[in-house]
Amino acid sequence: MSALEKAYLPAIFKGMSITFGHMFKKRPTINYPEKTRPFSPVFRGLHILNRDEEGRENCTACGLCAVACPAEAITMEGAERKPGEENLYREEKYAAKYEINMLRCIFCGLCEEACPKDAIYLSETFAPANYQRKGFIYGKDDLLIPNPKTNPEEYAKAKGNRGKNETAK
């Protein structure tokens, strides 16, 4: 070993060059509240129960989404439409109770694929944090998209890029 190697100077300079090289690289961290990172077009977020253009619910309580769910996170109860409710539901049968347990959901998207009426889809929204378990069980009122006739701005916001992509097709 030479005197230079005994003093560890080459190793120190090599380590310092790596450190200085990292100081001038772009940071991969994003300051979240101020900036948001772009998501993949196939990102699966919160579930949304869809409506048609007239504001009627698409879900017919067929139960295919609940059967397709591998985590058994979806529960529903069907009911018959009463006279005078034609403006609320598309079909004669509708989901009177529709719940998704987000603690069990694995966001696989099989419920979205199984639905024949395009009544449920996964949006581009995160599942929000909560302090209690019951806050993660979303009912029909939490999942239903706003009515496009009475709330067109909220409806467009809830649709997100999905609505833009469908109109472009």
Kindly report the pTM of this predicted structure. Answer: 0.73
pLDDT single digits (tens) 120-133: 999 888 878 889 99
Can you list the domains of the chain with their CATH numbers? 47-168 (3.30.70.3270)
Which of 28-32, 71-75, 102-106 shows the lowest per-residue confidence on average (mean pLDDT)?
28-32
Which of 17-26, 84-93, 96-105 shows the lowest per-residue confidence on average (mean pLDDT)?
84-93
Q: In 3-131, where do the E strands start and end? A: 47-49, 74-80, 93-101, 120-122
Residue 152, token pair as written in the block:
């067109």
Model confidence at 144: pLDDT above 80? yes
DSSP three-state, residue 97? strand
Which of 21-35, 96-110, 155-169 shows the lowest per-residue confidence on average (mean pLDDT)?
155-169
C-alpha torsion 12→14→20→21, nearest 10: -160
Banded model confidence at residue 103, pLDDT cuts 50, 70, 90: very high
Q: How many CB atoms lie under 10 A from the CB of residue 16?
A: 10
CB-based contact 33:115 (threshold 8 Å): no
How much is the pLDDT for 111? Answer: 94
